[in-house]
């Protein structure tokens, strides 16, 4: 859409989430622009539901979503992070110590 | 031709030609989301035409493709109302869409009540899809109902709704384009 995006601008952006199968979490499907909620529902149904790919949709004005995109970590407490513990390496070392390393590990 | 074949052919031709006309908006509708929606409606209409042609084709011992593409222009039963080429006038396009869906609803609902189980069954299927077309037409109607251009378009088109008679001049070009592949490659299939 690129350049034409600015020329439109009269609508509201809605984020659409879809449920593929009951029991699964809703996942972000994409966004649509529509003049109001009635149009948004119709367009969401058309773009994310008409091929049987969803059993339910959430259609939410983007404005209604609280976005958080700052995560302060002044003291570099990286032990809080989930990526602070490279399990694969440690597992390999443990296997070597135990003499049970899998062929692919060497 | 039986009365049933005649009636179904009229509806099928309306759906095919309107689907064709609506598909002329593909790529140039007012905005992307509407482009997808309106193209999808056009596709549905052509799908309805196909289902109706298939039913008629069995009665007449022919095929849906032959009915859709191998007849002479004067053999099509479509209303001049659906033949009008309205691109690039969105107000008139939506006015026709709204008027057509309103009139088509009466026609399809009558078929749903038919004693003929094949006709009633197909009409019920078609009506379930048309319900979404009517919602689409209604939301546009609600949005544009105070726009002078739209009001004018409704007034202009209202008297033409489902009129039968001579094809309009523009129909010749539509027919030419629509049947081109079949005429250039005899027996072409999709």
The verdict on residue B100 lying in a domain is yes
Cβ separation of A47 and B31 shorter than 8 Å? Answer: no
CATH of residue B73's domain is 1.20.1260.10
Q: How big, in percent rounded to 5, are the helix, strand and coil portions of chain A?
A: 40, 20, 40
Domain ranges of chain A: 4-64
Number of domains making up chain B:
1
Instruction: Pick A39's closest partner by Cβ from B32, B36, B139.
Output: B139
Report CA Rg, chain B. Answer: 16
Chain B residues with CB under 8 Å of A46 CB are 33, 36-37, 40
Classify residue A104 as exposed, middle or buried by CB count within 10 Å of its CB (0-12, 13-18, 19+): exposed
Query: What pLDDT, on the 0 to 100 scale, is given for residue A83?
Result: 66
Angle at A49 (CA atoms; ends A44, A51), nearest 5 degrees: 140
Three-state SS at A56? strand
Cβ separation of B33 and A1 shorter than 8 Å? Answer: no
The predicted-structure confidence for B133-186, as pLDDT tens digits, reads as follows: 999 999 999 999 999 999 999 999 999 999 999 999 999 999 999 999 989 988
pLDDT at A55 over 60: yes
Assess whether the previous peptide bond of B88 is cis (omega < 30° from 0): yes
The verdict on residue B118 lying in a domain is yes
Query: What pLDDT, on the 0 to 100 scale, is given for residue B87?
Result: 97
pLDDT at A82 over 70: no
The predicted-structure confidence for B85-98, as pLDDT tens digits, reads as follows: 999 999 999 999 99
- What mean pLDDT is reported for chain B? 96
Q: Which CATH number fits domain A4-64: 3.30.350.10, 3.30.70.1290, 3.40.50.300, 3.10.20.520?
A: 3.10.20.520
The verdict on residue B190 lying in a domain is no
**Separation CA A10–CA A6 (nearest Å):** 9
Interface pTM, i.e. ipTM: 0.82
- What mean pLDDT is reported for chain A? 84
Which residue of chain A comes nearest to B143, CA vs CA?
Answer: A35
**Does B185 lie at the interface with A, CB-CB under 8 angstroms?**
no
Query: What pLDDT, on the 0 to 100 scale, is given for residue B85?
Result: 97
Query: What pLDDT, on the 0 to 100 scale, is given for residue B186?
Result: 80
Report the 10 Å Cβ neighbour count for A27. 10
Structural domain including B89 reads 3-184
């Amino acid at each position: 859409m690129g350049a034409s995006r600015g020329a439109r601008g009269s609508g509201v952006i809605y984020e659409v989430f879809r449920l593929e199968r009951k029991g699964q979490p809703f996942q972000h499907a994409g966004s649509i622009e529509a003049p109001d909620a009635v149009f948004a529902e119709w367009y969401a149904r058309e773009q994310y539901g008409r091929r049987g790919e969803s059993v339910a949709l959430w259609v939410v004005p983007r404005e209604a979503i609280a976005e958080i995109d700052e995560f302060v970590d002044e003291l570099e407490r990286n032990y809080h992070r989930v990526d602070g513990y490279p399990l694969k390496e440690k597992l390999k070392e443990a296997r070597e110590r135990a003499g049970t390393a899998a062929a692919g590990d060497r | 031709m039986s009365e049933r074949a005649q009636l179904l052919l009229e509806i099928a031709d309306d759906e095919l030609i309107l689907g064709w006309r609506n598909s002329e908006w593909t790529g140039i509708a007012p905005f992307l989301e509407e482009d997808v929606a309106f193209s999808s409606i056009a596709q549905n209409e052509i799908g309805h035409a196909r289902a109706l042609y298939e039913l008629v084709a069995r009665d007449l011992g022919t095929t849906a493709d032959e009915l859709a593409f191998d007849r002479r222009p004067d053999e099509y039963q479509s209303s001049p109302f659906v033949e009008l080429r309205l691109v690039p006038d969105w107000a008139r396009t939506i006015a026709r869409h709204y008027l057509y869906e309103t009139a088509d609803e009466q026609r399809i609902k009558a078929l749903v009540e038919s004693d003929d189980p094949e006709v009633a069954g197909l009409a019920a299927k078609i009506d379930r899809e048309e319900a979404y077309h009517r919602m689409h037409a209604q939301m546009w109607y609600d949005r544009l109902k105070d726009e002078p251009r739209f009001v004018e378009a409704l007034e202009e088109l209202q008297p033409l709704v489902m009129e039968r008679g001579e094809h309009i001049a523009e129909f010749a070009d539509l027919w030419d384009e629509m049947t081109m592949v079949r005429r250039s490659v005899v027996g072409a299939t999709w």
